[in-house]
Amino acid sequence: MRLAQRVSSIQPSATLSINAKAKALKAQGQQIISFGVGEPDFPTPHHIQQMAIQAIYRNQSRYTAVGGIDELKTAVADTIEADYGLRYTPEQVIVSCGGKQVLYNLMQVLLEPGDEALIPAPYWVSYPDLVTLAGATPVAVPCREQDGFKLTAERLESALTESSRMLILNSPCNPTGAHYSREELSRLAEVLRARQDLIIVSDDIYYRILFGGEPWCNLAMLDPQLRKRTVIVNGLSKTYAMTGWRIGYGLGDPAIIRAAVKIQSQSTSNPCSISQWAGVAALRGDQSEVKTMVASFEQRCRFVVDSLRSIPGVTCPQPAGAFYVFPNVSHYYGKQAQGYAVDSSLEMAEYLMEQAHIAVVPGGAFGEDRCIRLSYALAHEEIKEGLSRLAQALQELR
Ligand code: PMP
Ligand code: GLU
């Protein structure tokens, strides 16, 4: 069967593949502990579920406007005004089937062959492939562990070329949990101000999952000139434990949003009408469960980081948010145990899956092969057991 070349130009999503593998092994009766895919382990809050049920009974089950119902777009704009201090009109908002589709639309709208998109590494697995699908070139900008795996002004400056068209910044970051402070963003902004042709994609999907009272900030909030060419990507999946409902949203220049709606009109049309109404309840309703979830992630984060750092040879940057850790396990590369030779993050993930029955995502998929990613949105007992299996499996490598 002849398939289009674009299929072989990308990889399947590593996070979703690991999830599928862990689920298949569990179905065969294996006691797999899955630190694989990143999704909250909480149920969707009850009042959001109720709104969806009512939407079904009210027959809110027809096609909606392609870019989302006005009620949801207005709720998005009001939420962003409250949390970012920035006012957007509903014409500057698009609702899509997840933040992932917002990103897909944006790449289709903004990138052409020959364009480069700068992606600080470690990065979320899907960015390079989404850029490639638009025919453009993803350029990974390696960030150092001693910088907390964050992009610095110097690294940004030296990565910029005449072909640079886009910077994708994700804070708090998947996979590291790193968050850029206002000062750090200001230093990046100095470089960005000189490049008015550069579009900034600010993937803020974890912005509500910030620890220690850390104040939220992104590049659009720094000055109006940057705001004009920043597109905000966000969604309900993480904040409201709604990964399966598939509601994401984007905000930015009306011409960009109109173009994204046009692309969406020829692909998926509107996101699920029932999910959109549930989304209105999520954004307009009681936020106390979000606080509870964030507090629980923070508590688990402390335990996970302490446990990882107590394993000889493992280093782990301190996350400021999200629900991932990204430990450097390369101390154990070049070693062997039980017939497994481990020399890369992929081999490490395979070894851990087969021998310790824990699922982790290889750091190579995030552009940093020395690390592995663990999502700790699991019950405490599972985390404890999983980390003890990890520590043992690592120390068996000689
Ligand atoms: N951006 C980042 C950084 C993510 O981790 C995810 C994970 N799902 C997404 C975007 C997209 O999420 P969704 O499509 O569920 O909104
Ligand atoms: N973003 C989550 C993760 O990184 C969900 C899976 C995906 O969409 O990649 O695990």
Band (pLDDT 50/70/90 cuts) for residue 19 is confident
Q: List residues near ligand 2 (CB under 6 A).
A: 13, 15-16, 37-39, 100, 125-126, 174
Q: How far is the CA of 129 from the centre of ligand 1 (A)?
A: 14
12-16, 38-42, 156-160, 224-228: least confident range: 12-16
State the DSSP string of 53-111: HHHHHTT--S---TT--HHHHHHHHHHHHHHHS----GGGEEEESSHHHHHHHHHHHH-
354, with CB counted inside 10 A (0-12, 13-18, 19+), is middle
Q: How far is the CA of 336 from the centre of ligand 1 (A)?
A: 35
Question: Which of 37, 123, 124, 276 most suits a substitution to test ligand 1, by most atoms within 8 Å of the C-beta?
Answer: 124
Instruction: Return d(Cα 226, Cα 256) in angstroms, integer.
Output: 15
39, pLDDT greater than 90: yes
Instruction: Return d(Cα 219, Cα 320) in angstroms, integer.
Output: 17
Band (pLDDT 50/70/90 cuts) for residue 395 is very high
Q: How far is the CA of 233 from the centre of ligand 1 (A)?
A: 9
- Is residue 357 within 6 Å of ligand 1 at its C-beta? no
Q: What are phi and psi of 375, to 5 degrees?
A: -95, 125
| Residue 53 identity | I
Query: Using an 8 Å Cβ cutoff, are 84 and 185 in contact?
Result: no
Instruction: Return d(Cα 176, Cα 179) in angstroms, integer.
Output: 9
Task: Please state the separation of Cα 248 from the chain's center in Å.
Answer: 12
Q: What are phi and psi of 54, to 5 degrees?
A: -60, -40
For 361-372, the pLDDT digits (tens) are 999 999 999 999
Pick the ligand that lies closest to the CA of residue 322. 1
Q: Which domains does the chain have, with CATH numbers?
A: 5-43+289-396 (3.90.1150.10), 62-284 (3.40.640.10)
From the list 361, 304, 265, the residue with the least C-alpha distance to 17 is 361
Question: What's the pLDDT at 14?
Answer: 86
Q: Where are the beta strands (DSSP E) in 227-339?
A: 230-235, 248-251, 324-325, 335-337
21, pLDDT greater than 90: no
278, pLDDT greater than 90: yes
Band (pLDDT 50/70/90 cuts) for residue 27 is very high
Band (pLDDT 50/70/90 cuts) for residue 17 is confident
Band (pLDDT 50/70/90 cuts) for residue 15 is confident
Question: What is the pTM (predicted TM-score) of this model?
Answer: 0.97
391, with CB counted inside 10 A (0-12, 13-18, 19+), is middle
> How many CA atoms does the CB half-sphere of 335 hold within 13 Å?
15
For 315-334, the pLDDT digits (tens) are 999 999 999 999 999 999 99
Question: What's the pLDDT at 243?
Answer: 98
